[in-house]
């Protein structure tokens, strides 16, 4: 098994590509070891001293580190990923995607929200997935779109610029009702 690695715009996050499906549907974000009960892979990665976050996409695993150095962590993470796939355990038990957290908006805004979600799904999420992250819709109120930044996007130094100059401009172009885009803390 050959696992590729790629840098992400977030220096604290590295993207691992195992060359096989990681999650067949959705994404899963784990910010602490206590969150990993449904994911043998995430639990295995959190056993590594220095791992502070694990994000699972369709064909990649993004790992976020704390103070440790990549030169020490990377070989151990590669070994853990390989061990996981050789074990035959599921990546996440019971489907496992956790990207559908509560969404809040006025039912009168259903049409605007549908357009926002479609733009996120077709134009934003594929682009940020290439960088090892994800952005999911959280809500829309009073002209403000609230988004969850996940994986490499969470805590990335360039995420504010991505929100302001990329996503906000895109959404405002197609939805005049959108005045602003804000990140919300992962729940």
Same domain, 155 and 82: no
Cα 180 to Cα 187: distance, rounded to the nearest angstrom: 21
Same domain, 15 and 67: yes
Q: For residue range 55-111, list pLDDT tens digits in order.
A: 998 899 999 999 999 999 999 999 999 999 999 898 888 655 555 556 778 888 889
The CATH number that applies at residue 158 is 3.30.300.130
Evaluate whether 61 touches 18 at the Cβ level (below 8 Å).
yes
- What's the pLDDT score for residue 179? 92
For residues 170 and 98, the model is more confident at 170
E strand intervals along the chain:
4-7, 13-17, 28-30, 51-56, 61-65, 104-105, 133-141, 144-151, 180-184
Q: Is residue 97 part of a domain?
A: no
- What's the pLDDT score for residue 148? 82
The last residue of one of the domains, among 62, 87, 112, is 87
- What's the pLDDT score for residue 96? 55
Q: 127 pLDDT exceeds 60? A: yes
- What's the pLDDT score for residue 75? 96
The last residue of one of the domains, among 87, 122, 141, is 87
Report the pLDDT averaged over residues 169-185.
Answer: 88
Cα 22 to Cα 92: distance, rounded to the nearest angstrom: 9
Q: pTM for this structure?
A: 0.75
Gap between the terminal Cα atoms of the chain: 35
Cα 39 to Cα 102: distance, rounded to the nearest angstrom: 21
For residues 103 and 136, the model is more confident at 136
Closest to 78 in 3D by CA, of 11, 18, 6, 31: 18
Report the pLDDT averaged over residues 166-171.
Answer: 89
Q: Is residue 96 part of a domain?
A: no
């Amino acid at each position: 098994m050959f696992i590729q690695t790629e840098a992400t715009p977030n220096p604290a996050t590295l993207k691992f590509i195992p060359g096989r499906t990681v999650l067949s549907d959705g994404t899963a974000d784990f910010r602490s070891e206590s969150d990993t009960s449904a994911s043998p892979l995430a639990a295995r990665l959190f056993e590594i001293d220095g791992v502070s976050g694990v994000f699972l996409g369709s064909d990649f695993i993004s790992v976020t580190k704390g103070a440790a150095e990549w030169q020490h962590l990377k070989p151990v993470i590669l070994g853990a990923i390989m061990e996981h796939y050789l074990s035959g355990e599921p990546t996440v038990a019971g489907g496992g995607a956790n990207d559908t957290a509560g969404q809040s908006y006025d039912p009168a805004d259903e049409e605007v929200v549908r357009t926002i979600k479609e733009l996120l799904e077709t134009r934003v999420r594929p682009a940020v997935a290439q960088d090892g992250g994800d952005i999911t819709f959280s809500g829309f109120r009073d002209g403000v779109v609230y988004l969850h930044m996940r994986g490499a996007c969470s805590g990335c130094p360039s995420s504010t610029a991505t929100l302001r100059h990329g996503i906000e401009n895109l959404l405002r172009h197609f939805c005049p009702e959108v005045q602003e885009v804000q990140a919300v803390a992962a729940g």
